[in-house]
């Protein structure tokens, strides 16, 4: 009887602990087009871009960067003019125009446009 009671309490404690853990919030990162540099991570909202179909052109005043750091999973959305190639701990992913992918593994991801010029930006996304 004591063993059944102890086992029941342990199972209840495990269930409470599992339920108390909240799911990780997924951040969304948008890759947009802006010259010079071609592709950038957008730090601001949609008001900082000019939308033409699936392509988002960042305004000159837009807050953009080539490096971002996140704690937890990240969804990357491609609004640039071409195919993005993301290399990192999750392997190599190709991200078409208007498409998105979820990155969950910790580490450094390097992103570039397929067939890009040497002077174009190379983006870096770090998940801690």
pLDDT digits 0-9 by tens, 81-94 = 889 999 999 899 99
What is the separation of C-alpha 83 from the centre of its chain, rounded to a whole number of angstroms?
16
Task: With H, G, I as helix, E, B as strand and everything else as coil, classify residue 108.
Answer: strand
What is the separation of C-alpha 99 from the centre of its chain, rounded to a whole number of angstroms?
12
- CATH architecture designation of domain 24-127: Sandwich (2.60)
Q: How confident is the model at residue 122 (pLDDT cuts 50, 70, 90)?
A: very high
Q: What is the pLDDT of residue 35?
A: 83
Q: What is the pLDDT of residue 118?
A: 81
pLDDT > 90 in the chain, percent: 52
**What phi-psi label fits residue 42: left (phi over 0), alpha (psi between -120 and 50 degrees) or beta?**
beta
Q: Show the CA angle centred on residue 45, arms to residues 41 and 50, nearest 5°.
A: 80
Q: Is the pLDDT of residue 38 over 90?
A: no
């Amino acid at each position: 009887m004591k063993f059944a009671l102890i086992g029941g309490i342990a199972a209840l404690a495990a269930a409470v602990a599992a339920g108390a853990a909240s799911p990780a919030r997924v951040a969304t990162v948008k890759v947009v087009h802006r010259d010079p540099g071609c592709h950038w991570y957008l730090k601001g909202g949609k008001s900082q871009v000019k939308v033409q179909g699936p392509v988002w052109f960042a305004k000159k005043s837009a807050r953009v960067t080539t490096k971002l750091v996140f704690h937890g999973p990240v969804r990357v959305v491609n609004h640039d003019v071409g195919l993005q190639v993301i290399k990192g701990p999750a392997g190599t992913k190709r991200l078409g125009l208007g498409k998105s992918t979820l990155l969950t593994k910790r580490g450094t991801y390097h992103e570039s446009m397929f067939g890009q010029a040497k002077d174009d930006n190379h983006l870096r996304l770090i998940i801690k």
